[in-house]
């Protein structure tokens, strides 16, 4: 599990959904479904899914629980699912 969350913190060079290239200064955001970095256009599509609210709620609960238990200070990582970030 430790490796799983840390992997997601590394900078992706492409959107994991549509494969659009992401530069170091391009904003990206994490998918609530896969926890992989995706571009903002893909996030917009994700938000349209009927179960997005439910999935997001479960995801943030699990993320906070796991990262808090394992690392203490990685909790803010979970919010990258809702707030775009740069590398
Ligand atoms: Zn994309």
Ligand 1 ion: nearby residues, β-carbon < 5 Å: 15, 17-18, 20, 38-39, 42
What SS3 class is residue 67?
A: helix
Tell me how far the alpha carbon of residue 35 lies from the centroid of ligand 1, in angstroms. Answer: 13
Question: What average pLDDT score do residues 46-61 get?
Answer: 95
CB contact set of 78 (below 8 Å; sequence gap of 6+)? 60, 63, 64, 67
Question: Tens of pLDDT along 17-45?
Answer: 999 999 888 999 999 998 889 999 999 99
**Cα-to-centroid distance, 15 and ligand 1 (Å):** 5
The share of the chain scoring above pLDDT 70, in percent, equals: 80
Distance CA 35, CA 6 (A): 11
């Amino acid at each position: 599990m430790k490796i799983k969350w840390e992997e997601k913190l590394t900078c992706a060079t492409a959107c994991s959904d549509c494969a659009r290239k992401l530069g170091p200064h391009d904003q990206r955001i994490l998918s609530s479904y896969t926890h992989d970095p995706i571009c903002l256009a893909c996030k917009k599509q994700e938000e349209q899914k009927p179960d997005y609210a439910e999935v997001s709620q479960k995801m943030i609960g699990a993320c906070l629980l796991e990262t808090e238990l394992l690392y203490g200070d990685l909790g803010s990582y979970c919010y990258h699912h809702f707030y775009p970030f740069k590398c």
